[in-house]
Amino acid sequence: MSVDVKNAEGYKAWLKYDLVTSQENIREISRWCSRIVHLVDTRIVQAAKEELTRAISIMIGEEPQIASETVTSNHIRLATSEQLNVDEFPEIRKINEEGYLIKTVKHEEGSYILLAGKSDKGVLYATFHLLRLIQAEHSLDNLDIVESPRNQIRMINQWDNMDGSVERGYAGESIFYKDDDFIRDYDRIKDYARLLSSVGINAISINNVNVHAVETSLITTFLPDVAKVADVFRTYGITTYLSANYASPMELGDLTTADPLDEGVKAWWKDKVKEVYSYISDFGGFVVKADSEHRPGPFTYGRNHADGSNMLAEALEPFGGIVIWRCFVYNCMQDWRDRSTDRARAAYDHFKPLDGQFHNNVILQIKNGPMDFQVREPVSPLFGAMRDTNQMIEFQVAQEYTGQQRHVCFLIPQWKEILDFDTYAKGQGSTVKSIVDGSMYESKLSGIAAVSNIGNDTNWCGHQLAQANLFGYGRLIWDPNLSNEDIVDEWARATFGNNSAVIENISAMLLSSWQIYESYTAPLGVGWMVNPNHHYGPNVDGYEYSVWGTYHFADWQGIGVDRTVTSGTGYTSQYFEENMKYYESLKTCPDELLLFFHHVPYTHLLKSGETVIQHIYNTHFEGVDQAIALKEKWEALQQAIDEERFHSVNERLEEQIENAKEWRDMINTYFYRKSGIKDKENRVIY
């Protein structure tokens, strides 16, 4: 990796520590941060010391002194609960194993800022939190912060292939692999680990869930390399997982079957897991995609998902490992023209009957919606439906269906809506976030995972503003009660500084961007209207398996998918009663999901007062205008942002405008010709 890349402004992301120009701020930082005392000295605490030293040296131009014993002068003190007087700091009893205290402690014999955790991980997380406060010019004189992560597993799923490509990756090639081998650029992997740890992410799977022949060898030939990567992440409190090929006993061994009930298969996996742990003692376990989109799985042998996952769980259990079993299972070759066939039903239909049959070290990873990371779809009904099964939610930070990091689309508002959604699984207040944090059903395992959006582009994410999704994902899953505004403000200040105009414009751009993207793309809950395979740009009938028709069922009379119990696929029955009734009725179904649940005439009147067809026309014209306004807001900041990042974002915004126009023209033309109904505003539709 060239020095130029690492010194680029975009590369530094939100760990961009700038020289402080205010003399008053320099004096305050110097007063508290010129000395670092560590009362514990693990590798993770060493990483915390290194981060503090790096940041403070840059910000005030002076490297802090390091000591392992208390001093009488002001300092930052790093400690775990073992080094604290619990009576003096009773808050330490309230935090969990990864929680922390940040506290300004004032004594006559010497004052200090305490960064303390139950464990050394807490110390590291407290370190990054303190540095965010300093970046935001927050006063250090009276800090009193007590935090614990709400979610147990806070995971990133890399979809990297060993040939160097990244499936659904929009930011260059892999930072891990190239030409069917490891790159071994541990400096860049370390910087990635720093970014992840700084927002509280504690787990990573380092290869694509679609495990090809070469990647299957990660659990054999390449184990020494996996171990080296795991060692880098371990230093930052991040546990390493691998995506596993279910057919590994056949591809790597001499077996002729991968039947999960076959004794030879069970023995093979037990031996293989033992070998993996001999290299990586704290290996997290396997992420598995099985029996979906042509991936091998237990269905081949007449077995179910509980059979398949439990076999792996038994092999991992002696070592404390877990199986993360993805619920993205459906028949991709089914005939979509048959309106009794509904992909939205698939996950629930496959997994709900198996509730209670999974081992305690199996956790089901469920996509946030029943389809596939669309710009708008309902929450998966599987959340809350399995009372006796560990569950975690899966988001996609990579913008596969939301602009592919060529369009700005800040996804935190979408994820907050999903986490706040009331499933009614145990009555009112049964939110998704209380299911995936394990509190509702007292689950042994729980958490949140997401598909990463990084690659080897200079600024990690292709689009500088797409970094806000990675940052925001980590902050949201640490504390789902954080507001969209607070997350944006934190990221913008850490990334661009504290210029009020910059913060105001970037915040406005990000907070409106999801709605803008939705406006000029998919209306009222209709998804998939993208080009096949690469999923970028408009194609109204463009789903991959287009030989089987479309997802919107538009004809000359109307549009939408009837998923009701009364007359459709019956999908609404998968929700608990309150939500079933809510979506079943045209009177109560929200406009933004209308066409996901109902087939209606183009003249159907929305709650907004518009007809469906007029809504389509209006939003697509308005979306283009709003995309143009995004660029205008950005251009107003040219004098306040460095040239590198300004021009990079400006180019992306220009592309977004042109693409929005293409969406507008193609979608409006399609539905004008389909419906024969003119735009009431008499705008040009070809």
| β-bridge mates for residue 79, sequence order | 116
Q: Is 577 a catalytic residue?
A: no
Written as six digits, the tokens of 228 are 């080296």
Q: CA–CA distance from 149 to each of 53, 412, 448 (Å)?
A: 25, 17, 12
Sign of CA dihedral 585, 610, 509, 139: negative
What does DSSP assign to residue 461? S
Query: How many CA atoms lie less than 13 Å away from 498 in the CB half-sphere?
Result: 14
| Integer angstrom CA distances of residue 684 from 31, 658, 667, 672, 676 | 64, 17, 13, 11, 14
Contacts for 285 with CB less than 8 Å, ≥ 6 apart: 241, 316, 321, 322, 323, 324, 361
Q: Token digits for 169?
A: 């990756």
User: Residue 88: is it exposed, middle or buried by C-beta count within 10 angstroms (0-12/13-18/19+)?
Assistant: exposed
Tell me how far apart the alpha carbons of residues 616 and 554 are, in angstroms, rounded to a whole number.
Answer: 13
Catalytic entry in 120, 160, 400, 584 = 400
Cβ 136 vs Cβ 415: under 8 Å: no
Cβ contact 81:87 at 8 Å = no
H or E element: which one contains 484?
helix 484-496
Cα separation, 157 vs 275, whole angstroms: 23
* Radius of gyration (C-alpha) of the chain in whole angstroms: 26
Do strands 558-559 and 600-601 pair parallel, antiparallel, or not at all (unpaired)? antiparallel
Residue tagged active-site, from 293, 417, 591, 644:
293
Would you call 307 a catalytic residue per the annotation? no
Residue labelled with tokens 């860049």: 188
Cβ 669 vs Cβ 685: under 8 Å? yes
Residue 372 appears among annotated catalytic residues: yes
User: What are 195's two structure tokens?
Assistant: 């970014």
The one catalytic residue among 282, 372, 422, 610: 372
Cα–Cα distance measured from residue 452 to residue 398, given in angstroms and rounded to the nearest whole number: 6
Distance between CA 135 and CA 137 in Å, rounded?
5
Catalytically active residues are 293, 372, 400
